[in-house]
Structure 1
Amino acid sequence: MSQQAAPRGRGRPRAGEELDDEPLLQAALDAFAEAGYDGMSVRALSRRLGISHALLTARFGSKQDLWFAAMEHACTQAEQVWRQVTETPAGDDLEALRQGLVRQVLFAAAHPQVLRIMNHEGAIDSPRIRFVVDRFINPLRPGVERLLDRLVAAGRIRSVPYTTLHYLITNGGGAQFAHPVEAALLGAPTAPPSAQLQAHAETVADVLIAGIVTSPGGSDRTPA
């Protein structure tokens, strides 16, 4: 990803100036989340960004390639969270799982576009949903299952179908960020401060953990 010394204003890049991928990919995420894949126009996006359509397509290729790049840009952050949780857990397995849940909710708050896009894509078979499953979900699954299996074998949690836990983790705690209008009508703040986001994430994690532990002692956060 190219880095620039100072933010560039709107308009086409000057001769020899490289495009900064991050704001382009963030804008693409916003556009796909708002309109869905079919409703999103690369030409309209280029106008919104103040760059030429030809320049945008030369950088990212087709609309589908831009979708892949935008989702890769965002989902890599969640991937790093779960790799750290499952491959280099610090101390207690149950606390590692809890921290993964907290950080997943915070990711959903920072990137609500991802869940909105997945709501568009998850019901229809396409190369896009298969990209997300094959690139992110399936590669992370064995590590998460090993963590869960250790906890089940130790008698600390009950066995839960992987798909059930997947949707509780990815959709449950993040839904209010993906659906801000509904959340606001229910009384949720539109721009909660970081401390409130952290408290929400901690609550979601604690509720999920409480639902799968086999005994009150199983929810002890101190290392066994």
Structure 2
Amino acid sequence: MTPEVAGRGRGRPRSGAELDSVALLQGALEAFATHGFEGMSLRELARRLQVSHALLTARFGSKEELWRAAVEHALAQIEQGLADVGGDDGLDDLAALREGIVRFLVFAAEHPEVGRILQHEGAIDSPRIHFVFERFVAPLRALAEARLDALTAAGRIRPIAFPTLHFLITHGGGAPFTSPVEAALLGAASPGNRAAVRLHAEQVADLIVGGLTSGIA
């Protein structure tokens, strides 16, 4: 739980004027990541976030809308960064691919709850995973595939299907952050160690780019 939410202590729920929207959305994100969408009621969320149930209902309308707002709040942070990389015509296509991988994995370390939520939602056919796909994945996929197609056509990389690349990065490179207990047992980089996270991200990017360019004259 974020310090703003966790540090309030017992007492009267906060009013709308006192509400820190960023802390609320982050707190909701963490709750959904821990308990899943079905395992967390709006009333329980209100109790955990120390706001009134009526306030959450008035602001978001439903648990589904709060889930969407929390996920969008987090994913918007990486969306712009990846869009900047993908849409930068002055950036070499191969360098853009590598930089996009690094940026995503640094984000995954900073927001491991996003990966946990999407792992759960990706295993069931819910309107929530369709929302994420249509709102975030599909637009970024178009940018990535344009770069990949250009690199393939120029003979600079081996052909690779976007889903293969997507899962290598998100579920492969991002695994230490979505599975922290296993990662700790393996001695993997802690999300709080920025230098180690950056090294992990760059090593994953180099392995992927190196594999795609291996044997290319």
How much does 1:174 deviate?
1.0
Deviates more, 1:53-62 or 1:21-30: 53-62
Q: Distance in 2 between matches of 1:42 and 1:123?
A: 23
Q: Distance in 2 between matches of 1:215 and 1:81?
A: 31
> Per-residue deviation at 1:188?
2.4
Equivalent residues in 2 for 1:4-15, closer than 5 Å: 10=8, 11-13=12-14
Question: Counterpart in 1 of 2:31?
Answer: 31
**Partner SS, residue 119 of structure 2:** helix
Question: Which aligned segments of 4 or more residues in structure 1 are displaced greater than 3 angstroms?
Answer: 11-14, 189-192, 214-217
C-alpha distance in structure 2 between counterparts of 1:89 and 1:103, whole Å = 18
Kindly state the Cα deviation for residue 215 of structure 1 after the two structures are TM-superposed: 3.5
CA distance in 1, matches of 2:184, 2:112: 15
The offset of 1:131, in angstroms, is 0.2
| Distance in 1 of aligned mates of 2:30 and 2:89 | 33
Q: What do residues 151-205 of structure 1 show as CA deviations (whole Å, max 9, x unaligned)? A: 1111110110111011112221111111111111222254542111111111111
- 1:105-154 deviation per Cα after TM superposition (whole angstroms, max 9, x unaligned): 00100111111011111121111010001101112211111111111111
> TM-score, normalising length from structure 2?
0.90
* Counterpart Cα distance in 1 of 2:109 and 2:38: 25
State the alpha-carbon separation in 2 of the partners of residues 214 and 187 from structure 1. Answer: 29
* 5+ residue gaps, structure 1: 1-6, 218-224
Under a length normalisation based on structure 1, what TM-score does the superposition of the two structures give? 0.87
- Equivalences, count: 210
Aligned residues with identical type, % of pairs: 56
Residue 136 of structure 1 aligns with which residue? 136
> Match for 2:67: what amino acid?
W
Secondary structure at 2:38's aligned position in 1?
A: helix
Which residue matches 2:93? 93
Two-structure CA RMSD over aligned residues (Å) = 1.9
Q: Residue 155 of structure 1 contacts residue 214 of structure 1 at CA under 8 Å; is this kept in 2?
A: no
- Give the distance between the partners of 1:45 and 1:184, measured in 2 at CA: 29
8 Å contact 2:158–2:212 — kept in the other structure? yes
1:122 aligned partner? 122
Instruction: Indicate how the Cα distance of structure 1 residues 101 and 115 shifts in structure 2: closer, same or farther if over 3 A, else same.
Output: same
Q: Give 1:13 deviation, angstroms.
A: 3.4
- State the distance in 1 between where 2:54 and 2:118 align: 28
State the 1:89 CA deviation: 4.3
Residue 197 of structure 2 aligns with an amino acid whose one-letter code is L
Match of 1:200 in 2: 200
- Cα deviation for residue 19 of structure 1 reads 2.3
CA distance in 1, matches of 2:107, 2:139: 19
Kept in 2, the 8 Å contact 1:156–1:215? The answer is no
Supply the distance in 2 between the matched residues of 1:191 and 1:206 (Cα, whole angstroms): 20
Change (3 A) 1:191 1:125: closer
